[in-house]
Structure 1
Amino acid sequence: MNYRILTSAARPLALGGLALAALTFPALAQETAEAAPEFATAADTAFIFNTLLFLIGGFLVMWMAAGFAMLEAGMVRTKNVSMQLLKNVVLYAIAGIMYWLIGYGLMYVDVSGYIGSFTSYSWPAAGTANEGDYSVASDWFFQMVFVATAASIVSGTLAERIKLWPFLAFVVVLTGFIYPIAGSWKWGGGWLDAMGFQDFAGSTLVHSVGGWAALAGAILLGARNGKFNSDGKVNPIPGSNMALATLGTFILWLGWFGFNGASQLAMGSNSDVSDISRIFANTNLAAAGGVVAALILTQILYKKVDITFVLNGALAGLVSITAEPLTPSPLMAIIIGAIGGIIVVFAVPMLDKLKIDDVVGAIPVHLIAGIWGTLAVPLTNSDASFGVQFIGIVAYAVFTLVASLIVWAILKATIGLRVSAEDEMNGLDLAEVGVEAYPEFIAVHGR
């Protein structure tokens, strides 16, 4: 208040107001102090930030479901786009329900070494406090979105010739039983964890498990019609939309910061936040290394750059660093990712020679690069050994491949896996979904 501009008549009123304020201020201050909440303790602060890490990381990994959908929609032919989109939406929903119904219990509850408890999951009632170091529901959410990632890997490999319902039936088994049992061996404190097996965010537990399940399905399902000639010649089948595939890759790249970063599992201290930052940086550098390696190598081998190899090079770099994104130096992160990109360029034609039809290249990216990333952990992490890492890789390979082959074989013998030759020619959008993604385009250009 500027006292000088007040009129002489107003000055007594102003002085009286100031006096009243002086008399009442101590009482108001006391009431405010009594009403103010207590300051949060260090434990409360850690709880809040740990929970936020799970929630933010969880919705970033959930966003990867959109990335897989866009990537697959771009990599398949126009006549199969709706089918791929449908599978990715439904598999995410199934993963959530199955992981709540039985998966989380098998993976984390009373793990005896090889398997947990057959129980549905529940979290505390609304208004519950003192849940521990983080919200229980946030932990479940973060773990659940990883399950959907494993199922998405299978979807891309088997595209363009598998029936909808057998695929979804396999997803039920994968997300409810196969993945959780395998996950309990390390993340649930099972026998591999006791041995010292290291897999920070899931190069093997998530990506190779999904890759082995996809490989089993591809073997029993067979290749797309027209992919391989009887003389051994490979006929490339281009995807429909590289713009969608590129968008999907960038979405996956973004989601991977939640995938790897939130696997720190704590954000309540200075050192935790510093480690998360290092994980982000190394994750990004590994993806960049995969891109550049695939770019240069395809130019050398094929005289032209293949964008599908470059996109998968980025993803292979991300998968490779996932087993240990914290301890590598920046240069080592680039090298680990670059080797992942090189793996993709050589593994895709290798699968073609074996007549294994992988539509989106998921087996090279997730399975083979996942194995490489897991083997690379001891290069930078002194707590890991090559022997134990190898044992873990073999254990996951045998369990997942055998279990998946059994499930796929049962489905093939009962309801069948593959659509008819006519339906495959017409496209699964028409045969299995009934809604075509590009009806005007197909009407003009045909199938």
Structure 2
Amino acid sequence: MSNFDYLTSWLKERKITEVECLISDLTGIARGKISPTSKFVLEKGMRLPESVLLQTVTGDYVEDEVYYRLLDPADIDMFCRPDPCAVFLVPWAIEPTAQVIHDTYDKQGNPIEISPRNILKKVLRLYADRGWKPVVAPEMEFYLTKRCEDPDLPLQAPVGRSGRQETGRQSFSIDAANEFDPLFEDMYDWCEAQGLDLDTLIHEEGTAQMEINFRHGDPLHLADQILVFKRTMREAALKHNVAATFMAKPMTGEPGSAMHLHQSVLDQQGQSIFSNADGSMSELFMHHVGGLQKYIPEVLPLFAPNVNSFRRFQPDTSAPVNVEWGEENRTVGLRVPDSDAQNRRVENRLAGADANPYLAISASLLCGYIGMVEQLSPSAPVQGRGYERRNLRLPLSLEAALERMENCRDLEPYLGQKFITGYVAVKRAEQENYNRVISSWEREFLMLSV
């Protein structure tokens, strides 16, 4: 049975009448078409304008000079083929519906270079070519808020079962998480129906801030799951008349939301290459950390993709502000959790919850890979508080980070010049769009004072 025959059988067994055909654009937004199952089976995929991949978060496009350099001026279609390993139910839909994530190709059958999912597959091939198998375990933080129709108004904590808004910091509080039990029951039911590998639910530090942990597994499958989970979480929240947001910093005075990435690497026998036979840290592990330290600042826009993302990195915001590393240390960007030798891993704490999961996972694994190939050495591990360390600081703004990424020639052989140019152009267009908006801070403090 071919892969597509398997997918057809899967849809038929579940009496699916509608298929949401999805791809991820550079910003992490799911784009595509909704098709009757009969048409989906007949066409074996879909066609989309390749320009979809260069849309900004506001729906605009990059400047013409870049657009026509990267894309055909006739705005031609790309060919999107469904991945039978990336099919999920849509439990909140009225009719039996499935969502199928697609890969993108040009007319000659070549993978589209600026597709986020293709970038991750490209990085995973680098590992496979050396007999290595990376494993990741993402942690997704997000806020529940009152629904708010006016974007000029600050977000507020929602009202829970008790009829009261949450106040103060409630880290790891069971009762505070239970305030939203009906919502999370739906979320867990829907995720189970979709086969998402969820682990634990945690109340995080912020007011009505939560965290969902995923079980460790294949990076591509987990990136797919995060794309689906974000849709699922938003739908569950809307059903209960609240909102779920994955903005990196949605509320003034509250901690930001991250996508922490635990990553390790196995050999072909399933043994960790991060540990020696005696259980100590291997040279490959140290090189992996060295690569993360050297190259994360060069690809920071893949972890912090929006203007808002950089608000997480301000002082006293509970987020790491450097690429220092340390064992059991949450004040540095790269934490090595306490574990046995087989489960030794590094936790990249720098990615925001707003990052495209395909690109954030790609970047994190790529930085570690280059470190192992180039045999890079890390700095000395940090003992104690690491927030004040300034030697390995990150770029402080999206503009500075984009310039650094654009000028890093070491990345081109891996990510491709076309992808780097397209990604930087999309983010610069978003930055220019943001610069045109007059903020409430300006109205409050400048309107009658200067």
TM-score normalised by the chain length of structure 2: 0.27
TM-score normalised by the chain length of structure 1: 0.27
Q: Which is helix-richer, 1 or 2?
A: 1
Q: Which has the higher contact order (CA 8 A, sep 6+)?
A: 1
Q: Which is strand-richer, 1 or 2?
A: 2
